[in-house]
Amino acid sequence: MSSSFHDAVEAVVDLRVYRLAALKKAAYRVAARTTVVITVRDEQHAVLCFRFPHGVDADGARERMRRFYEELLDQELREQVAEETSSLRLLILAQAFSNTDLVRRD
Amino acid sequence: MPLTLSGPGIRRLSASGSDVPFVVRVATRNNDNARRADEVLLVDDYTAPSLEGYRAVLVRAPGKSRAYPPDTYLLDARYSYLTDGDVLRLDPPRRSINVLYRRSSRSNALLVTERCDNYCIMCSQPPKDADDAGVVDELLQAISLMDPGTEEIGITGGEPSLLGSRLIELVKALKQSLPSAAVHILTNGRGFARSELAAALGALGHPDLMLGVPLYSALPEDHDYVVQSKGAYDETIRGVLNLKRHRLRVELRFVIHRNTYAGLPMFAEFVRRNLLFVDHVALMGLELMGFARANLEQLWIDPVEYADELRAAIDVLDGAGVPCSIYNHQLCTLPIELHGFARRSISDWKNEYVAECDECAKREACGGFFVSSKLRRSRSIRRYVASVGEEEAERG
Amino acid sequence: MALARPFAHRSAYAPPPGYRLLPFRFGQLDHARYLATNDVGEMVVLSRADVRAFVERRLDPSSSIYRELKAKHFLFDDDARVALDLLAIKARTRAEPIARLTALHIFVVTLRCDHACHYCQVSRQNEDRASFDMSWAHAERALQIAFSSPNTDLKLEFQGGEPLLNFSLIRRIVDRSLELNAAAGKNLTFVIASNLSRVTDEVLAYCRDHGIAFSTSLDGPQDLHDQNRPLPGRSSHAVTMAGIAHVRRSLGQDGVSALMTTTEASLSRAEEIVDEYVRCGFDSIFLRSLSPYGFAAKKGLLRSYSVEDWLAFYRRGFERILEVNRGGRVFREEFATVLLQKMYDPQGTGYVDLQSPSGMGIGALVYNYDGRIYASDEARMLAAMGDDTFVLGSLEDATFRSIMVSDQLADVLDTTLLESAPMCSDCPFLPFCGADPAFHQATSRDLLGHKAFSAFCEKQMGVLRYLIGLLHESASDAGTIMRGWIRSCP
């Protein structure tokens, strides 16, 4: 018999490894399956509080948390990519939309 | 039919003659033309001493007369094809002749320089660092002698854009003297990375101008290796963009050999995504001259080995609506579904057919061979036999 | 022959150490693979390990993944800074169609109807109430607005109720638009969305002479179609078949196209629905998703089946369509075609309902029988449910300009730019997706919705994962078939 996992699970995350923006975005993405409440404890640490919908058992909860961390890794990578490329994106779009002499196919 | 267009070919018969090169048009019979001063009279043998006023005389066979007018030369039999309207450069001290233009040919091209800022590993016309300052002036003179009804003419080299404003001068002269001629410039495009040259060319408003630009890969490292020049890819594409900004027609040319064939599908995708506005793409077979001959082992590949890549590339380009063609490939070396893209692209003077072609049902449609292809031929060369259905169609 | 200088080895032209990343998005494609896309819709399928190696500059320049990423402008180096120029041109090309503004103008000429379809998205009235017809004064004002759009293409679509019940107005509108077009010189097309029960020879003669085509509803085989669209005393399927034949006799095979509506009953019959379209001589089908509007929402039909059920339906229908193509007949799935255009066409697609920012107003305008102007077809359905979020004005006083610069429209466009929306902004499917503000307004009272809870997002990602998976299955001919569809598209 599996019982609903009603408890909240807490975990601590090192903010020097995972940006706060990455945490928030990962939480946003998994919101339908897990509720993650983020609290910043100090400069280096954030506390995550996981809650699960009714009917999810312990295995299900573990799977959802695993999925959250997977997403967090991706989000952290995305933040890094954004850091390196956002100025280039602006440059490219600026050129795209300031260009009055188009290269046209006749 | 293969022809020799330049090389040793004249021997002076007269006592005196020019000690500098000069440009003349061929005339084969006496006429009252006031242009005699720019013409060379071409006769079988020189008998009549009364034909005055021509710049020079060419005889096919030495006659009995010893009283040749100045600048009378014996013409080598290799040049017996010359006829009215052809334009020559004669260099008496070197005894050489250069056929700049044949009125009956659809393959005339002006060689404007032998300098080039690329150094392609398969170049059929290897660059030379010659001082060619006088070439453009001679060509301008030659243009003024060409048939005004000329329908097409090319500009080639070396790299024509190295001429800068003199290239503009040449195209302007073509526009004025040969108003019906479609002009095709072969260029690596790098000189047009500076927008001024592209702007100047665009401003001429030539009614029928196309620039053929080689591009050998989607990737700079591959292209730069083939043309042996770092930064060439970047400049070439910038050149193409500038040319299109000034509403000039651009064709991309991809020479297929062992070092480029694998990149054909990626190249086609790259063109489809980034250069969809080009007017034509030509996928070309190798001409085994110059560096291509020197690097034969490294470059040669039988076309049947890259049939898949070629098919994939044509599929992408044709599917995207880009006009595309296959040049310099015999039909028997191509998958049948690509035959519609093959063109008779080989210049007449270096074009020939082989024994298998004699009874081939597709001979008329096929472009045949480069003379230089003797060195290496595909193992799939064979004649097509007309099927029963085709024969019936012919009867009907 | 002595060479002027020797040839350098390939290694002399190798890329410089290190490379620069170009802007891109990435995410999971399936359990084994990731998808990376850039702003202009180029895509690379790769492993997560490769994504990390790519970002961390550990890719070997001779590897095929490096070469693919470079050719598709996910990375560049100092040897080819022209990549930036090319990306700018591509970005411009992709965005350009937005500036052409509204091409689709829908005229709801009457709300009267002779059918009683279960899922009808607009409250329909029975036939004898003429106060549900559009007035000529309003129609004329609507034409003024339509012809003020700068787009050189103008498509006038007539809807209802059953528009043929007010054919005299359609005729007046078409005549007047042709007059206006003599000066305007636009590429003008006309479509009547009809159940075809009222098609007569007289109607068809006019349509033939004025280049008007028809669009009708076909939900599937007879029993399914009749179940959805009951007609007292008759089979609506039989009426539709007779109508299609009648129209084709006058206007030719392409004189009528068909649209389906998906209901719970459709979900187990994907193959039969496709077969029915093939049998009727159509060359495409739009496997539509569930609609949250109108009677469907009121009767709770939306909750009766899940997105997963619909995706299974879609995949089965698509498989059947691939089989039809393998048999030698070119038959397209329209939704996939829209997505494929976003993937492969430099200008993307003009499909109004999948744009960023949304196509509301700037892609389509709906002129209602009662004088109200809506931002889209869905907007009208939403209004019928009591939500006026997407009413853009009134035919009493609006002009094209006043609509385009209205705060209302600006708010919608501003909010629906996916590039700045949460979750969408870093989603690899973004270039192939679009906003559906009406759906999100209907289901969550918010223009964007929270995508983690959005059935629209779940559906979009489900279809895109499926199609991109097929395109990258080298052993399958599905990719070749699909690319053939956009090749044959005008």
Q: What is the largest CA-CA distance in chain C?
A: 96
Distance between CA atoms of residues C427 and C404, nearest Å? 29
Residues C337-360, mean pLDDT to the nearest whole number: 94
How far from B263 is each of B111, B250, B355, C11, C64, CA to CA, in Å?
A: 31, 21, 34, 17, 11
Write the residue in B128, B237, B276 that is nearest to C346 by C-beta: B276
> Which pLDDT score, from 0 to 100, does residue C3 have?
57
Overall average pLDDT of the B13-18 stretch: 89
Strand partners, A10: A49
Q: Please tell me the least confidently modeled range out of B325-329, C330-334, C465-469, C471-475.
A: C471-475
Q: Is C107 exposed, middle or buried (0-12, 13-18, 19+ CB in 10 A)?
A: buried
Closest C-alpha to A80, from C23, B33, C255 = C23
A12: exposed, middle or buried (Cβ count in 10 Å: 0-12, 13-18, 19+)? exposed
- pLDDT of A104 reads 47
According to the model, what pLDDT value does residue C123 have? 54
Q: What is the 3-state secondary structure (H, E, C) of chain C?
A: CCCCCCCCCHHHHCCCCCCEECCCEEEECCCCCEEEECCCCCEEEECHHHHHHHHCCCCCCCCHHHHHHHHCCCEECHHHCHHHHHHHHHHHHHHHHHHHCCCEEEEECECECCCCCCCCCCCCECCCCHHHECCHHHHHHHHHHHHHCCCCEEEEEEECCCHHHHHHHHHHHHHHHHHHHHHHCCEEEEEEECCCCCCCHHHHHHHHHCCEEEEEECCCCHHHHHHHCCECCECHHHHHHHHHHHHHHHHCHHHEEEECCCCHHHHHCHHHHHHHHHHCCCCEECCCCCCCCHHHHHCCHHHHCCHHHHHHHHHHHHHHHHHHHHCCCCCEEHHHHHHHHHHHCCCCCCCCCCECCCCECCCEEEECCCCEEECCHHHHHHHHCCCCCCEEEECCCCCHHHHHCCHHHHHHHHHCCHHHCCCHHHCCCHHHCCECHHHHHHHHCCCCCCHHHCHHHHHHHHHHHHHHHHHCCCCCCHHHHHHHHHHCCC
Task: Establish if B295 touches chain C: CB-CB under 8 angstroms.
Answer: yes
Q: Which of B218, B228, B233 faces C79 most closely, judged by CB atoms?
A: B233
Q: Around C58, how many Cα atoms within 13 Å sit in the side-chain half-sphere?
A: 6
- Shortest distance, CA B249 to any CA of chain A (angstroms): 9
Phi, psi at residue B376, to the nearest 5°? -150, 130
- The continuous run of DSSP H or E covering B122 comes out as none
Cα atoms in the Cβ-side hemisphere of radius 13 Å centred on C154: 23
Backbone dihedral region for residue B394 (phi beyond 0: left; psi -120 to 50: alpha; all else: beta): alpha
B392 band by pLDDT with thresholds 50, 70 and 90? very low
To the nearest whole angstrom, how far is the Cα of A31 from the nearest Cα of chain C?
Answer: 6
Q: Which of B70, B89, B69, B93 is nearest to B79 (CA)?
A: B89
What's the pLDDT tens digit per position in C284-324?
999 998 777 655 555 544 455 689 999 999 999 999 999 99
- Contacting subunits of B (3+ beta carbon pairs below 8 A): A, C
Give me the pLDDT at residue C230, please.
Answer: 84
A106 touches chain B (CB under 8 A): yes
Q: Do A101 and B279 touch (CB under 8 A)?
A: no
CB contact under 8 A, A103 and B245: yes
Inter-residue contact C453 to A31 (CB < 8 Å)? yes
Interface mutation target, options C11, C82, C343, C488, chain B, most CBs of B under 10 Å: C82
Asked if A103 and B247 come within 8 Å (Cβ–Cβ), the reply is no
pLDDT per position as a tens digit, B286-320? 999 999 999 999 999 999 999 999 999 999 999 99
Kindly provide the b/e burial profile for residues C404-438, where b requires at least 16 CB atoms within 10 angstroms of the residue's own CB.
bebebbeebbebbebeebbbbebbbbbbbbbbbbb
Predicted local confidence at residue A5, as pLDDT: 66
Residue C28 with chain A: CB contacts under 8 Å: 74
Q: Do C21 and A86 touch (CB under 8 A)?
A: no
pLDDT band at B51 (very low <50, low <70, confident <90, very high): low
B11 interface with A at CB cutoff 8 Å? no
How many A-B residue pairs are in contact by the CB < 8 A criterion? Answer: 16
pLDDT over threshold 90, residue C17: no
C41-46 mean pLDDT = 98
Shortest distance between the Cα of B314 and any Cα of chain C, in A, equals 13
Looking at beta carbons, which residues of chain A come within 8 Å of C84?
A: 88, 91-92, 95
Distance CA B25, CA B15 (A): 22
Residues ≥6 apart with Cβ < 8 Å to B195: B242, B245, B246
Share of chain B above pLDDT 70, in %: 95
C3 touches chain B (CB under 8 A): yes
pLDDT in tens, C198-236: 899 999 999 999 999 999 999 999 999 999 888 888 899
pLDDT higher at B390 or A65: A65
ipTM exceeds 0.85, yes or no: yes
- pTM score, two decimals? 0.92
Q: Judge whether residue A102 has pLDDT over 70.
A: no
* Diameter of chain A measured on Cα atoms: 71
Q: Check residues A64 and C474 and name the one with the higher pLDDT.
A: A64
Convert the pLDDT of each residue in C155-214 to its tens digit: 999 998 899 999 999 999 999 999 999 999 999 999 999 999 889 999 999 999 999 999
User: Rounded to a whole number, what is the distance in Å from the CA of A106 to chain B's nearest CA?
Assistant: 7
Contact call for C426 and A78, based on CB within 8 A? yes
Rounded Cα gap, residues B46 and C334, in angstroms = 80
What's the CA gap between C207 and C214, in Å, rounded? 9
Determine which helix (DSSP H) or strand (DSSP E) holds B86, and give its type and residue range. none
The pLDDT score that the predictor gives to residue B69 is: 85
Chain C environment of B119 (Cβ under 8 Å): 5, 7
Cα B378 to Cα B373: distance, rounded to the nearest angstrom:
10
**Distant-in-sequence, close-in-space partners of B176: CB < 8 Å, separation ≥ 6:** none
Name which of C55, C92, C426 is nearest A96 (Cβ-Cβ): C92
Query: Taking 90 as the threshold, does the pLDDT of residue B109 lie above it?
Result: yes
pLDDT at A2 over 60: no
Q: What is the pLDDT of residue A1?
A: 41
Q: What is the pLDDT of residues C462-489, one digit of tens each?
A: 999 999 999 999 889 999 999 999 986 5
B200-256 pLDDT per residue, tens: 999 999 999 999 999 999 999 999 999 999 999 999 999 999 999 999 999 999 999
Percentage of residues in chain C having pLDDT higher than 90: 82
- What local confidence, expressed as pLDDT, does residue A76 receive? 97
Which residue of B277, B280, B281, B322 to mutate against A (max A Cβ within 10 Å)?
Answer: B277
Give the pLDDT score at C128. Answer: 60
> Contact C67/B231, CB-based, under 8 Å?
no
A2 or C423, which is more confident? C423
Average pLDDT, chain B: 92
Burial of B359: CB neighbours in 10 Å, binned 0-12, 13-18, 19+: exposed
Query: B219 and C90: CB-CB below 8 Å?
Result: no
Q: Give the span between the Cα atoms of C325 and C329, in whole angstroms.
A: 5
Q: Is A88 on the interface with C (CB under 8 A)?
A: yes
Q: Do B225 and C1 touch (CB under 8 A)?
A: no
Give dist(CA B121, CA B98) in Å, integer. 26
Question: Which residues are CB-neighbours of C153 under 8 A, at least 6 positions away?
Answer: C100, C103, C186, C187, C189
In this structure, are residues C151 and C364 in contact, taking their beta carbons and an 8 Å threshold?
A: no
pLDDT (tens digit per residue) in A30-61: 999 999 999 999 999 999 999 998 888 889 99
Question: Taking all residues of chain C, what is their mean pLDDT, rounded to a whole number?
Answer: 92
What pLDDT does C124 receive?
Answer: 62
- Touching subunits for chain A (3+ Cβ pairs under 8 A): B, C
Q: Mention every residue, 6+ apart, whose C-beta is less than 8 A from residue C476.
A: C470
Give per-residue pLDDT as tens, B116-156: 999 999 999 899 988 888 999 999 999 999 999 999 999 99
pLDDT for residue C406: 94
Question: Is residue B33 scored above 80 in pLDDT?
Answer: no
Instruction: Tell me whether A30 touches chain C (CB under 8 Å).
Output: yes
Q: Note whether A74 contacts C26, CB cutoff 8 Å.
A: yes
pLDDT at position A100: 59
Burial environment of residue C389 by CB neighbours within 10 A (0 to 12, 13 to 18, 19 or more): middle
Task: Please report residues of A whose CB lies closer than 8 A to that of B207.
Answer: none
For the cut 50, the answer to whether the pLDDT of residue B341 exceeds it is yes
- Tell me the C-alpha distance between B369 and B381, whole Å: 11
Q: Of B289, B243, B311, which is closest to residue B122 (Cα–Cα)?
A: B289
Residues 6+ apart with CB under 8 A from C370: none
Burial of C205 (0-12, 13-18, 19+ CB in 10 A): exposed
CA atoms of C280 and C241, how far apart (whole Å): 8
- Determine the residue among A92, A99, A103 to mutate to test chain B binding: the one whose Cβ has the most chain B Cβ atoms within 10 Å: A103
The reported pLDDT for the residue numbered B68 is 83
Q: What is the pLDDT of residue B37?
A: 87
